[in-house]
Each structure stands twice: as structure tokens, then as C-alpha cells.
Amino acid sequence: MTEIRPNLPVDEQLSILKRGVVDLVSEEDLRQKLSRSLETGQPLRVKLGADPTRPDLHLGHAVILRKMRQFQDLGHKVIMLIGDFTATIGDPTGKSKTRPPLTIEEARANAQSYLEQCRLILRSEPEVLEIRSNGEWLEQLGYKDIIGLTAKYTVARILERDDFSKRLSAGTPISMHELLYPLTQGYDSVALEADVELGGTDQLFNNLVGRALQRDYGQEPQVVMTLPLLVGLDGTEKMSKSLDNYIGISDEPHAIFAGLMKVPDPLLANYFTLLTDLPQERIDELVAGHPVEAHRVLAREVLVWLAPGADPDAAEERFRSVAKGGIPDDLPEVVVDAAELNDEGRVSMARLVVLAGLEPSNGAARKLIQNRGLKVSGEAYTDAQGWVEREQLCMEGGLILQKGKDKFKRLKME
């Protein structure tokens, strides 16, 4: 872990913090806050709010978490705000319809996994990390408080939000609770007295609402910083687990390495800027050179900070071996229960793919097989209706399933 550098000059802090940023409202405000922090020794309070709608994080989330870590390394306190309460409302940001809300229990269960993964990137010292839940204050608001909050913002200003205006023009219904969401998120900044709020570019409007509300409540307005949404491995849409174009931040080192070797060439400069600390001159040199070497450097640089205990040489060696058609020795094993067998002592290959965790359902497994995305013990498997005998699962070494380039599982029956 790098040392905390609380006394770095303002210009140097700004140079670090502005890297990769899309929106900065405003740079002059941030400069003033950083200068005052140096003079008083009082760290800035830097907020990132997240509704824990999913329990797993990927490198797209890591872009903002890295920016938080930069603030921490400069001696400032970051506030990881878990939106357990706002997750029960449902934010439609970037969506054409209402996002289904979660129960408070679902949100808090997801939050535990979320925080564990955040700590892979963030420092944990209490002087630079504060973990809060917006249920602390939002659950306490009464009807009079809510009415008072809504009085501080007009309907016209709320409808300026891009997704709201598009839905209004298209005649798509907008529920009243959705109109309240930006105000609710903005009130979080008031409750926390945030100096800075981070978010993706899709959160710019909501974060600016927080800036406006702070002014209405007599606080100094927060600085708003947004970072780009990382494009996924398909090269077309933002990184997303549902689109299967992601790299998980808690994936095995070899899987992270293999995933980064698949980044489309046109996205290399963006990935280098957002996911490494390499200087721009070195990035330009790598992008202009051989793409394989650029991918290799990218993969190793990301592993250094994301999985500090990992051996980049071992991850690279495994990648090269698998790329040549090899099968690694240290495969995760799945023991198949005998109850999975039918009366004839067989189990469908689709079911085995699901048991291996390579697909979520039999239908998805059959689609994988039909698309020639599955190998069994190194050979392409194309029979979507195929069956596997007990003897095959009981043989020495079991049955090795492979999805894509580097997702292996060894299935055995004892």
C-alpha cells in the first residue's frame, strides 16, 4: 500500500485527481477546497454513493474506486455511502423504464459483498475511510420533512434530466417516486456535508442536485466529478455482468490477465488512462507499438494494484499455455451429487454446465453448446441434447469443462 501524502502541493493534487475525469464542477471550487485543506490540515470529505443492486463488482466500478483511492492517498477521507434505502426506491438512471426496487434486506445483503470487494482497492484506515448507510437519516424523515425537501426543487428542473425528458416525449410513464430519487440522493450530500461527490457520467444530474441542495441548506456546495463508463470487452457497450463483457475485480489473477488481453485495440488508451498510473507519454508509446505488447503491459499493470499478492509471471504463463490449447493443472473441482443422475445413470451435459457455474440455466447452457462455446476435456462439444454417463464422471481426472478461453471446471463423482 502506498504512503498517504497529505501535504502535496495543490497543483500536484489537481494533476492526479483530474486524470480521466469527464466533468469537474468546478475546478476552481476544487482548488479552493484543496488549498483550505492544506492550510487547516482538515481533509476533504469525498462521497461515493452506490445502491447495492448487485453483489458483484467489475473493472467498470474500479474506475471510480481508483479515484477514491487517489483521494485517500492524498490524505482525504472518502465516504463509501451504501444506498440501502434508495435501492428500495429504484433509480431509472439511463433506463427507459423504472428499475425494480429491492427490499431493504436484499440491499443490505448485497452491500456486504460490495464492501468486501471495495476494500480490494480502497484503504481501510479509519482516518481515510468512512462507511455509511443512507437509511441512517432517510428512514427518519417524516412526511413534513419530505414536503420540505420537494419545495427546494422544481418539477421543471427535475424533468431536465435526460432520461426523464426522453420518457416524457415518448409518452412512457414516470412514477412520482422516480422524480423524488434525485432529491433523495442529493439530500445524502447534505446529511454528510460532502466536499466532493464522485460518480459515473450517468450520475451528473443527480450529483448536481446535491450541489444545489447543499446551497439551499446553507452549506458550501460540493464539487462534482464524473468519470467515464468503462466500455466492456465487446467494444460496444459499457461493462456489465448482464452483458457478459466484464472482468470481475475479485476474479482469479489468471482470469483478469486473460480478460485484459481481450480488450479491443481501439480501447487500449482508455483502459490505460483509467486503470493504470502510467504517464501519458508511455501510454502513447505502447498504443502506437505492437498491440500484443500493449495488452501484456496493461494486464500486468492492473494486476499489480488489483491483486497485489498475485504473480504476474504465473498469470501470463497460464494465459500463454491456455492460448496454445493447454489445460491448466490447478482447476477448481465440482463434485456432482449422484442424485443428479436419472434412472439410466446419466445426466445431461447442459445440467453439468449449470452445476459447474458456467451458465445460470439449462437453456443458457444449451445455447452455449449450440454456439460452439464449450469444450469437454479439450475437444469441442456440440450436442446440445447430449448426455454424460456416470462412468465418465467417475474416471480418474473427472470431466473437464471449458467455456471460452480460460474458464475451466473439473467435474467428478465420488
- Whether residue 5 contacts residue 18, with contact meaning beta carbons closer than 8 Å, is answered with no
Integer CA distances (angstroms), 173 to 86, 154, 164, 183, 368, in order? 20, 19, 10, 19, 37
Q: Quick one: CA torsion of 130, 135, 138, 143, rounded to 10 degrees?
A: -170
pLDDT at 90: 59
Q: Model confidence at 254, in pLDDT bands (50, 70, 90)?
A: confident
pLDDT in tens, 311-364: 999 888 888 887 777 777 778 889 999 889 998 999 999 999 999 999 999 999
Measured CA to CA, the distance from residue 76 to residue 3 in angstroms comes to 13
In this predicted structure, the answer to whether residue 91 has a pLDDT above a threshold of 60 is no
Q: Which three cell numbers stand for residue 153?
A: 426543487
User: For residue 303, is pLDDT > 70?
Assistant: yes
pLDDT value of residue 97: 47
Higher pLDDT, 147 or 174: 147
**pLDDT tens profile 171-194:** 888 888 788 888 988 999 999 999
pTM: 0.80
Identify the residue with better confidence: 50 or 339. 339
Instruction: Please name the residues in contact with 39: beta carbons below 8 A apart, sequence gap of 6 or more.
Output: none
Is residue 21 pLDDT above 90, yes or no?
A: yes
The owner of cell 445483503 is: 109
Specify whether the CB–CB gap between 294 and 371 falls below 8 A: no
Q: Which residues are annotated as a binding site for ATP?
A: 241
Binding residues: 241
Pairing of strands 333-335, 407-412: parallel
CA distances from 248 to 240, 292, 296 (A): 10, 22, 18
Question: CA 35, CA 14: separation in Å to the nearest integer?
Answer: 11
pLDDT top residue among 56 and 299: 299
Q: Which domains does the chain have, with CATH numbers?
A: 10-227 (3.40.50.620), 253-323 (1.10.240.10), 333-412 (3.10.290.10)
Query: Residue 231: pLDDT band by 50, 70, 90 thresholds?
Result: very high
- Taking the CB of residue 282, how many other CB atoms lie within 10 A of it? 12
Mean residue pLDDT across the chain: 88
pLDDT (0 to 100) of residue 378: 81
pLDDT at 94 over 50: no
CA gap 212, 227 in Å, rounded:
20
Least confident piece of the model among 75-84, 106-115, 139-148, 363-372: 106-115
How many residues are given for the chain?
414
pLDDT at residue 1 greater than cutoff 70: no
Cα(236)–Cα(264) distance, rounded to whole angstroms? Answer: 10
User: What percent of the chain lies above the pLDDT cut of 70?
Assistant: 94
